[in-house]
Chains A and B, each alone.
Chain A
Amino acid sequence: MSGLMKLAVQNLFRHRTRSLLTMLGIGAAVAVLFSVLSFNRGFEAGLERELKGTGLHFMVVPSGCAHEVAALVLHGAVIPKFLEAGVIDDVNRAEGVSLATPILVAQMPNPQGGRIDLIYGVETAMLPDIKPDWEITGAYPAAANELLLGYNVALHNGITPGDGIRYPGVEGVFTVTGIVAQTGSQDDAFIYMDIREAQAILQHPGGATAVGVKLTDPVRMQEVIEGLESRVPGIQIVTMGQVMNSVSTVAASARSLSLAVALVALIIGTVGVMNAILMAVFERTQEIGMMRAIGASRWDIFRIILKETALLTMVGGIAGILIAAAGSTLIEGFVRRVMPYMPTGEMLRFEPLLAMGCVLFAMTIGLLAGFYPAWKASRINPIEAIKG
């Protein structure tokens, strides 16, 4: 450790409680800042992951609320609206559409299992195209009375391929042909069923909550969408990008608020640093005067004070990162309870570069706060100081 640094460390140790409290102030601010930024990145990555997982370019849904649509696309929300029967044919006829599959999402009581199942009615033959990343234990359903189960449904109910499931008012037994390997997304919670069976059980022949569309050439997406919207009334088309924007907009206000809180906390912490260092300078006026007398230049004094500030903010910042890392589970649990939508997967992850960035940011602001006390100290008149 260099001599001036040793001096700076010793000065901080001289008022341990004050130094500790100042560091904690900075630490708390950095913890909030790191958590917000880390959450932000985790949220966007999770959202993108979930959207990619749909394997579709856009969804055709009944006209309505954009947030409802987002919930449908991302979480398979049950929406009490259905597309007109002819919409699927219109979409299928549209130029540039390589795949159009009706989707019917519904809740179905399962007295046998004592639960309510989330049914995802779809052309089961198209599942490999819609969900190209899935890994299946067993096989995709090939017949109308066959089911594919999401990972969590199978796990929580102890269902394995070959087992049978009954639904009230439906003759016969559905046979589970396969289980989807864990995706970490909402896909794990569904029971995938042939759409015609789902329509029959729900007594909505030809009904669909959405039509998932895949294009031959995604570059022509805008052209296809405009064509469909002009020809087919009562529909709304949402691209995966729009869904992402829609969810991001909802989340952005919460994130902006959190970021503002973090920055305000950081400013308060920084003012605390300035106050603590300024107090230390005033208390050490005679000592600084003595140092000037025995040969310390103004720059030497300036550097000593600035090193103290850097140390305070650096240690405080590192402590903040450790606090954030240690409390990430708690923070994430809390945020999941209060946010209307959260992608699945881990949102708060320890990212070394982000952590380093937060500490450096705190140090930069701290150093700026240290400039005034350091300048003040460097201007101390040795004679006045020694006279006391």
Chain B
Amino acid sequence: MIRLQKVEKIYRRGAETVRALRGVDLEIHSGEFAAVTGPSGAGKTTLLHIVGCLDTPGRGEVLFDGVSVDGWTDKKLTRLRREKIGFVFQQFYLIPGLSVADNIALPLLFRKQKPDKDRIATLARMVGLENRTRHVPAALSGGEMQRTAIARALVNRPEIILADEPTGNLDSKNSEKIFDILKGLNRSGLTVLMITHNANLAARADRIIRIKDGMVEA
């Protein structure tokens, strides 16, 4: 589904040059649940951003469904993200003044689509927030906020969910809930790539991708 070929990423941090990814070859298969693990600064998030077409590699190539996205315009990459990729972040990034339902519907705005109430209700029910759709984020617990973010990631019917430490800000009980939801989505056919520091959760993924010093360990 997504293939990275000899991907390099170098960026500058002040006076320092950081080689975030060094010749990464990686394939994410359709329908798999992969966990990305590794120490802080190993290049996990950079990898996720490149897989999610948020960033472009300095060298190497990214192929999405067999098509190279090399040289694509920002507009084209934005459309790809909008239509095929769902993002879940550690900090949730919900919009404070919008209700749960409106937050879930947010990506539809950028697709010039009217919110499909049935779809939003279905997603809210799927993540266990059917009674919280009118609440604003400030009235939610951390777990509920992340479940809202997952529903938001799903509203455009993506092919893959990219989750950057989705349980990083949650207690173990809520972490389990979030993982179960992601696992359930994967069982229904969705591809999931999740960065995690939680070894227990990673162990329950189909595959563990270990990254160290910008390289994928065999």
Contact = CB atoms under 8 A, between A and B. Distances in A.
A13 interface: yes
B74 A296 contact: no
Given A6-B102, A382-B54, A383-B49, A296 B110 contact: yes
B106 A294 contact: yes
Contacts of B89: 290, 386
Q: How large is the interface on A (under 10, 10 to 19, 20 to 34, 35 or more residues)?
A: 20 to 34
Contacts of B105: 3
A14 B96 contact: yes
B112 to A, nearest CB: 9
Contacts of A292: 78
Contacts, number: 71
B82 interface: yes
Interface string A281-307: 000001101111111111010000000
Nearest to A387: B45
A300 B95 CA distance: 16
B96 A297 contact: no
A7 interface: yes
A241 B68 CA distance: 78
Interface string A303-337: 00000000000000000000000000000000000
Contacts of B108: 3
A292 B75 CA distance: 11
B193 to A, nearest CB: 14
A249 interface: no
Interface in B69-128: 74-75, 78-79, 81-83, 86-87, 89, 91, 93, 95-98, 102, 105-111, 114-115
Contacts of B75: 297
Given A295-B81, A297-B78, A383-B55, A10 B95 contact: yes
Nearest to B162: A293
B153 A298 contact: no
Interface string A1-44: 00110110011011000000000000000000000000000000
Interface string B128-168: 00000000000000000000000011001000000000000
Nearest to B105: A3
Contacts of A387: 45
B49 A295 contact: no
Contact of B82 (A4, A290, A294, A298): A294
Contacts of A287: 93, 95
B82 to A, nearest CB: 3
Nearest to B80: A295
A10 B110 contact: no
A294 B49 contact: no
16 contacts: A3-B105, A10-B98, A11-B97, A13-B97, A293-B81, A294-B81, A294-B86, A294-B106, A294-B110, A295-B81, A295-B107, A295-B111, A297-B78, A386-B54, A386-B89, A386-B93
In the A-B complex, list the 7 residue pairs whose CB atoms are closest, starting with the nearest: A295-B82, A10-B97, A290-B93, A3-B109, A296-B110, A295-B110, A294-B107
Interface of B: 45, 49, 52, 54-55, 74-75, 78-79, 81-83, 86-87, 89, 91, 93, 95-98, 102, 105-111, 114-115, 152-153, 156
Interface of A: 3-4, 6-7, 10-11, 13-14, 286-287, 289-298, 300, 382-383, 386-388
